Amino acid sequence: MTTTTLAVLVPLLPFLGAAAGLLLGRTAPGFVRPLAVLPTLTALVLAAIVAVRQGGDASVTAATELTPTGSIPIELALYIDGFAALVAVVVGLVATCVQIYSTGYLREDPRYPSYAALVSLFTSAMFLVVYSGDLIVLLVGWEVMGICSYFLVGHYWETPEARAASIKAFLVTKLGDVPFLIGLFALATDAGSFRITTVLATVTHGGLDHPTLVALLLLAGVAGKSAQFPLHTWLPDAMAGPTPVSALIHAATMVAAGVYFVARLLPVFEASSAAMVTLAVMAAITMVGSGLAALAQDDIKRVLAYSTIGQLGYMTGALAVGDRGAAVFHLLSHGAFKALLFLAAGVIIHAAGTNSLAAMSRMSHLRDRVPDAYWTMTVALLALAAIPPFSGFFSKESVLGAAEHITAGHTEHAPGAAGWTVLVAGLLTALLTAAYATRLWLLTFHGRGAEAPDHGRQPLTMTVVLWVLAVPSLALGGLAYRTLPDWFDGNDLAPTLTTSVLGTGVALAGGLVTYAAWRHLAGLAARVPLGAVAAHPEGDAGLVEAEAIATHAPAYGDVASAPDPADPGRLLLGPLHRHAAVGFHLDAVYRALFVRPVQAGASLVRFLDREVVDTYVRGAGALPRWLGAAVRRAQTGNVQTYVSALLAGTVVLAVAALLVASGA
Amino acid sequence: MHLAYPAVLSALLFCTGLYGVLARRNAILILMSVELMLNAVNLNLVAFDVWLSRTAEETLHSGQALTLFTIAIAAAEIGIGLAIVLAVHRNRGTADIDRLRDTAEGHESPAADGPDSDTPATGTAAEKAEATA
B100 touches chain A (CB under 8 A): yes
* Residue of chain B with shortest Cα separation from A646: B22
* Cβ distance of A636 and B104 shorter than 8 Å: yes
Model confidence pLDDT, tens digit, residues A495-542:
788 888 888 888 888 888 888 888 888 777 666 666 555 555 556 666
This model of the complex carries an ipTM of 0.72
- Sort out which chain B residues have CB atoms less than 8 A from A636's CB and list them: 101, 104-105
Residue B52's pLDDT is 87
* Residue of chain A with shortest Cα separation from B96: A638
Among A351-355, A390-394, A601-605, name the one with the lowest average pLDDT.
A351-355
Q: Would B95 be classed as within a structural domain?
A: no
Quote the minimal CA–CA distance from B20 to chain A in Å. 10
Q: Mind giving me the DSSP string for A390-426?
A: SHHHHHHHHHHHHHHHHHTT--SSS-HHHHHHHHHHH
B28 touches chain A (CB under 8 A): no
Whole domain around residue B77: which residue ranges?
Answer: 4-82
Among A414-428, B29-43, B64-78, name the one with the lowest average pLDDT.
A414-428
- Give chain B's domain count: 1
To the nearest whole number, what is the mean pLDDT of chain A? Answer: 84
Residue A539's pLDDT is 62
Of B18, B97, B107, the CB nearest to A639: B97
B108 touches chain A (CB under 8 A): no
Residue B114's pLDDT is 43
- Sort out which chain B residues have CB atoms less than 8 A from A654's CB and list them: none
Helix, strand, coil in percent for chain A, rounding step 5 = 75, 5, 20
Residue A591's pLDDT is 86
Model confidence pLDDT, tens digit, residues A221-270:
888 888 888 888 888 888 888 888 888 886 667 888 889 999 888 888 88
DSSP state, residue A356: B
Residues in chain A, total:
664
Angle between helices A391-407 and A416-445 (to 10 degrees): 160
Of A633, A637, A644, the CB nearest to B107: A637
User: How many Cβ pairs within 8 Å bridge chains A and B?
Assistant: 29
Residue B119's pLDDT is 43
Q: Would B130 be classed as within a structural domain?
A: no
pLDDT at position B13 over 50: yes
* Cβ distance of B97 and A636 shorter than 8 Å: no
Q: Are residues A246 and A239 in contact, defined by beta-carbon separation less than 8 angstroms?
A: yes
* Cβ distance of A640 and B107 shorter than 8 Å: no
* Residue of chain B with shortest Cα separation from A637: B104
Model confidence pLDDT, tens digit, residues A5-50:
888 888 889 999 989 888 887 888 788 888 888 999 999 999 898 8
Model confidence pLDDT, tens digit, residues A56-105:
677 778 888 777 777 788 888 888 888 888 889 989 999 999 999 888 88
Residue A582's pLDDT is 81
Q: Would B32 be classed as within a structural domain?
A: yes
User: To the nearest whole percent, how much of chain A has pLDDT over 70?
Assistant: 92
Model confidence pLDDT, tens digit, residues A488-497:
777 777 778 8
* Confidence bin at B117 (pLDDT 50/70/90): very low
B84 touches chain A (CB under 8 A): no
- Sort out which chain B residues have CB atoms less than 8 A from A635's CB and list them: 103-105
Q: How far is CA A128 from CA A47, A252, A368, in A?
A: 12, 14, 42
Of B21, B98, B105, the CB nearest to A635: B105
Residue B120's pLDDT is 44
CATH value at residue B18? 1.10.287.3510
To the nearest whole number, what is the mean pLDDT of chain B? Answer: 82
Q: Would B15 be classed as within a structural domain?
A: yes
Q: Would B118 be classed as within a structural domain?
A: no
**ω into residue A160 within 30 of 0, thus cis?**
no
Dihedral sign, Cα of residue A484, residue A489, residue A494, residue A495 = negative
* Cβ distance of B23 and A640 shorter than 8 Å: yes
* Residue of chain B with shortest Cα separation from A628: B105
In angstroms, rounded to a whole number, what is the distance separating the alpha carbons of residues B65 and B76? Answer: 17
Q: Would B100 be classed as within a structural domain?
A: no
* Residue of chain A with shortest Cα separation from B99: A638
Q: Would B125 be classed as within a structural domain?
A: no
Q: Which amino acid makes up residue A583? A: G
pLDDT at position A413 over 70: no
- Sort out which chain A residues have CB atoms less than 8 A from B102's CB and list them: 637
Q: Select from A238, A256, A234 the least CA-distant residue to A142.
A: A256
Model confidence pLDDT, tens digit, residues B59-72:
888 899 999 999 99
Residue B113's pLDDT is 44
Model confidence pLDDT, tens digit, residues A169-187:
898 888 889 999 999 998 8
Model confidence pLDDT, tens digit, residues A113-171:
888 899 999 999 999 999 988 888 899 999 998 898 899 888 888 888 888 889 988 98
Q: Would B102 be classed as within a structural domain?
A: no
Of B97, B103, B105, the CB nearest to A640: B97
The answer to whether the pTM exceeds 0.80 is no
